[in-house]
Every structure is written in C-alpha cells, then in structure tokens.
C-alpha cells in the first residue's frame, strides 16, 4: 500500500470509529484532531487511537497497554495478538466503559 492509500484507509477508519461511538448506547465523549482520536469515559479513563503514517499502522493506547494494527488480508490486525480491530476495540471500550459494548463499522 502506498502513502495515499494508507491515509485514505486510516482516515476512513477513524471516521467509522466516530460513527460507531455516536451509535453506541454508552455515553462516550470523543475528540478528533489531526489523525488522533481520543475516547473519554465517565470514569476518567481514555483510549487514544492514532495514525502512524511512516509505518502504515493504526496505534491504540488503552489504560492497560498499547496495540499496533496493520492492514493485512483486507482487515486491520493487531501485530502482536492477531486480533481484528473492531473486536479488539469493542472489548477495550467495554472494559473502560464498564458496560457491554459492541462496535462495528457500518
């Protein structure tokens, strides 16, 4: 993938996350600035999602640890665990929101 393709795909992913949070029944605030998306929870914790253009990755920092996702086989996969992005994000948001949350791209 070239830089233009990566930027388009990563920007689309960040917008899809915003849309999923908007549709989420749990109250989660978010702010997006220049390739960085911050999800803020009522308990004061945050999840930070940001683009890493030089590596063509999306990084996610939760209150527990950080994860690096790369696009492979038509999906974003965690480089360490192999978890699919939306499955991982749903679990992370559920933990930090202390509620069952299922997020998905529309």
Residue 53 lies in a domain: yes
Residue 39 lies in a domain: yes
User: In angstroms, rounded to a whole number, what is the distance separating the alpha carbons of residues 70 and 78?
Assistant: 7
Tokens, residue 89: 């994000």
Is the per-residue pLDDT at 106 higher than 80? no
Q: Report how far Cα 18 is from the mean position of its chain's Cα atoms.
A: 9
Region 9-32: what's the mean pLDDT? 93
Query: Helix or strand or coil: residue 32?
Result: strand
Region 50-77: what's the mean pLDDT? 94
Residue 82 lies in a domain: yes
Tell me: the pLDDT tens digits for 71-91?
998 999 999 999 999 999 999
Residue 21 lies in a domain: yes
What is the CATH classification number for the domain harbouring 45? 3.30.920.10
Residue 45 lies in a domain: yes
Residue 69 lies in a domain: yes
Strand (E) positions, 53-87? 57-61, 66-72, 75-78
Q: What angle do CA 36, 75, 24 make, to 5 degrees?
A: 55
User: In angstroms, rounded to a whole number, what is the distance separating the alpha carbons of residues 25 and 45?
Assistant: 18
Residue 55 domain boundaries: 3-97
Q: Domain tally for the chain?
A: 1
Region 45-57: what's the mean pLDDT? 96
Nearest to 93 by CA among 20, 1, 8, 10: 20
Residue 103 lies in a domain: no
């Amino acid at each position: 993938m070239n830089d233009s393709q990566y930027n388009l795909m990563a920007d689309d992913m960040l917008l899809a996350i915003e849309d999923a949070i908007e549709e989420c029944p749990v109250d989660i605030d978010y702010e997006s600035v220049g390739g960085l998306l911050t999800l803020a929870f009522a308990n004061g914790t945050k999840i930070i999602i940001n683009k890493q253009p030089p590596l063509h990755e999306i990084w996610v920092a939760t209150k527990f640890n950080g994860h690096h996702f790369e696009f492979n086989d038509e999906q974003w996969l965690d480089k360490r665990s192999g978890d699919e992005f939306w499955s991982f994000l749903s679990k992370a948001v559920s933990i930090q929101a202390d509620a069952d949350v299922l997020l998905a791209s529309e």
